[in-house]
Structure 1
Amino acid sequence: MKKIILGAALVLSAFAIKPANAQVNFNLNLNIGSQPEWGPVGYDHVEYYYMPDIDAYYYVPTHQYVYFQNNAWMRSTRLPDRYRNFNLYNSYKVVINEREPWRRADVYRNKYAGYRGRQNQVIIRDSRDARYRNHWKDDRRDDREWRSNNRRSDRGRPEVDYRNNNSRPERGRR
């Protein structure tokens, strides 16, 4: 009887023991290609840039600015007119990979107040790192494209249709 119970226990334990399935999940989310050319170099993934000079954020995945206006945080693809003289290329940006960082705006204001006015940050546009090759431009090709896209008519004006809102030039953004 002991042998039967022992045998049954061994058979049941054999079913209970299961070889381990090794699963390795490796999720690497790179968004180098979607980062703007005025962003700082050295980051494979960026959610937000915080700009201490204007106390605003830039959300990289949707290419939107988040700024405080009329007692609320606003989202827009453009900065408001009060920042028209702000130069994104020369200002300091802090990378923040946190969801909705403006909810803790006071923390970031205090933590990065010392970065206001700094202009010594290397940006993607000026980098020759191979990771940013999609941001490199062939100046000669760009000149040829500009000339072909801005042919002059008999009146000396560019042949551009400004009726479409998307083709209207942005004023004060460079």
Structure 2
Amino acid sequence: MNKKFIVIFFLLSALAFNQLSAQFSLNVNIGTQHVWGPTGYDYAENYYFPEIGAYYNVADQQYTYQENNRWVTTRSLPYRYQNYDLYNGYKVVINHPRPYLHDNEYRSRYAQYRDVHNQPIIRDSRDNKYFENKDHPMHNQWKGNNHDNRNNGHDNNGKGYDKGGNGNDGHSNSEHDN
């Protein structure tokens, strides 16, 4: 009887711990956000670029934009945005799935940011939480660093269009969604 009690106690304790830890889990994706993304966000699901009317999904590393009146999702921006500077353009963080389905709302809500070019970006931040990002210039000073400084295939040229056809590194960060 004592053994059954102990086993049941441990099982219930483990179940309670799992439920408790699930309630206190935080969504954080600082390490996967692009270095040209804005500072101030521990989690970003999507980014909206008001100047070009395009979106970027951080987890999927894909852009969504309109092409011939339909939404297209690809690893890089189209040729018409070849000169768009992701480091300099304003990004809005939108933590809702498929934000392009509400494009009219976001276009009007963030129209005033179309020509704003002073947004602080992750690459230039000296906040050590951003050092986790392997493309950050100070990544080698990250306390959790495992000293794996491979390039991971990212180009980081700061342009939205990848002339080489292999897709730019695909992270886009934007500021906020109220």
TM-score class, shorter: 0.5 to 0.7
User: Partner of 1:125 in structure 2?
Assistant: 123
Distance in 1 (alpha carbons) for counterparts of 2:165 and 2:128: 30
* TM-score normalised to structure 1 length: 0.66
The 4+ residue runs of structure 1 with deviation greater than 3 A are 168-171
- Equivalent pair of 2:30/2:132 in contact (CA under 8 Å): no
User: Partner of 2:113 in structure 1?
Assistant: 115
Cα deviation per residue 1:122-154 (whole Å; 9 max; x = unaligned)?
Answer: 00000011111134326xxxxxx9xxxxxxxxx
Give secondary structure in 2 for the equivalent of 1:68: strand
Give secondary structure in 1 for the equivalent of 2:40: coil
Match of 2:82 among 84, 94, 107: 84
Match of 2:53 among 43, 55, 64: 55
User: Partner of 2:10 in structure 1?
Assistant: none
* 1:121 Cα deviation from its structure 2 partner: 0.1
- Equivalent pair of 2:54/2:66 in contact (CA under 8 Å): yes
Match of 1:32 among 27, 30, 33: 30
* 1:62 Cα deviation from its structure 2 partner: 1.0
Fraction of identical pairs, as percent = 48
Q: Which consecutive residues of structure 1, in runs of 5 or more, have no partner in the other structure?
A: 1-20, 139-144, 146-167
2:82 maps to amino acid = R
* 1:170 Cα deviation from its structure 2 partner: 5.9
1:64 maps to amino acid = Q
**5 Å matches for 1:69-80?**
69-80=67-78
* 1:109 Cα deviation from its structure 2 partner: 0.3
Give secondary structure in 2 for the equivalent of 1:37: coil
* 1:120 Cα deviation from its structure 2 partner: 0.6
* Equivalenced residues, count: 126
User: Partner of 1:137 in structure 2?
Assistant: 137
2:137 maps to amino acid = K
User: Partner of 2:3 in structure 1?
Assistant: none
2:33 maps to amino acid = Q
2:128 maps to amino acid = A
Give secondary structure in 2 for the equivalent of 1:107: helix
What RMSD in Å do the two structures reach over aligned CA positions?
2.6
Match of 1:68 among 63, 66, 70: 66
Q: Tell me which of the two structures has the higher relative contact order, counting C-alpha pairs closer than 8 angstroms and 6 or more residues apart.
A: 2
User: Partner of 1:156 in structure 2?
Assistant: none
* 1:72 Cα deviation from its structure 2 partner: 1.1
**2:78 is the alignment partner of 1:96:** no
